[in-house]
């Protein structure tokens, strides 16, 4: 009986953490580039992506490398936790991926106006202006950034749904 109560308490705590996290990521989705610890984490991975992909010697990949790395890091963690059959942790990292999509969407949305303060100051190249201009699709900035934002919404809802499923319906793996 006591074990059953402990299991229920753990599920309530995990559900609360999942819901609070999802709500937090949703709140920052409205202005993801405002200072937040999450944006700072994204920025570190983003900036690390430029020299990492720059090693390939292709300027387009160097410029895209920031966004690639920013999205790749959560994907690596999703793969890791999923391969360990830790579905709850996988769900939480999908929420992190959602916040990364929101962050990227805000940066992409700025490709035409270029109002964001960039690291490197006035001499910095705006990644998304460069990428979309190079591809000849700068005029589709709004649609592209909206599509990226939509991927964030899909990830947010998916992470929440997967976490709830794991806590209440997944009988295959004991997550508590």
On the question of pLDDT at 79 being above 90, the answer is: yes
Domain spans of the chain, in order of start: 2-27+67-168
Name which residue leads in pLDDT, 10 or 7. Answer: 10
Closest CA to 99 of 144, 46, 168: 46
Task: Please state the rounded mean pLDDT for residues 121-132.
Answer: 88
Distances (CA, A) of 39 to 2, 9, 100, 131, 146: 42, 32, 8, 21, 19
Token pair listed for 49: 């992506």
Q: For the beta carbon of residue 141, count every other beta carbon within 10 angstroms.
A: 19
Backbone angles phi, psi at 161, to 5 degrees: -65, -40
In contact, 133 and 59? CB cutoff 8 Å: no
Residue 1: its pLDDT value, please? 61
Report how far residue 127's alpha carbon sits from residue 84's, in angstroms, rounded to the nearest whole number: 35
Backbone angles phi, psi at 28, to 5 degrees: -75, -15
Read off the pTM: 0.89
Convert 84-93 to b/e letters by CB count within 10 Å (16 or more is b). eebbbbbbbb
Residue 153: its pLDDT value, please? 96
Task: Please state the rounded mean pLDDT for residues 13-34.
Answer: 88
In contact, 153 and 1? CB cutoff 8 Å: no
Instruction: Quick: pLDDT tens for 101-125.
Output: 999 999 999 999 998 878 877 778 8
> 6: pLDDT confidence band, cut at 50, 70 and 90?
confident
């Amino acid at each position: 009986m006591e074990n059953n109560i402990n299991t229920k308490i753990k599920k309530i705590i995990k559900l609360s953490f999942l819901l609070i996290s999802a709500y937090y990521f949703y709140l920052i989705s409205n202005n993801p580039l405002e200072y937040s610890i999450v944006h700072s984490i994204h920025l570190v991975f983003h900036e690390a992506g430029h020299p990492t992909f720059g090693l390939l010697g292709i300027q387009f990949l160097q410029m895209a490398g920031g966004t690639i790395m920013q999205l790749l890091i959560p994907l690596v963690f999703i793969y890791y936790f999923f391969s360990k059959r830790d579905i709850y942790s996988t769900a939480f990292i999908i929420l992190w991926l959602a916040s990364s999509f929101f962050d990227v969407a805000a940066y992409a949305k700025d490709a035409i106006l270029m109002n964001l303060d960039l690291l490197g100051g006035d001499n910095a190249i705006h990644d998304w202006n460069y990428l979309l201009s190079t591809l000849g699709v700068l005029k589709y900035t709004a649609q592209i950034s909206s599509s990226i934002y939509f991927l964030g919404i899909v990830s947010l809802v998916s992470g929440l749904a997967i976490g709830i499923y794991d806590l209440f319906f997944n009988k295959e793996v004991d997550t508590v």
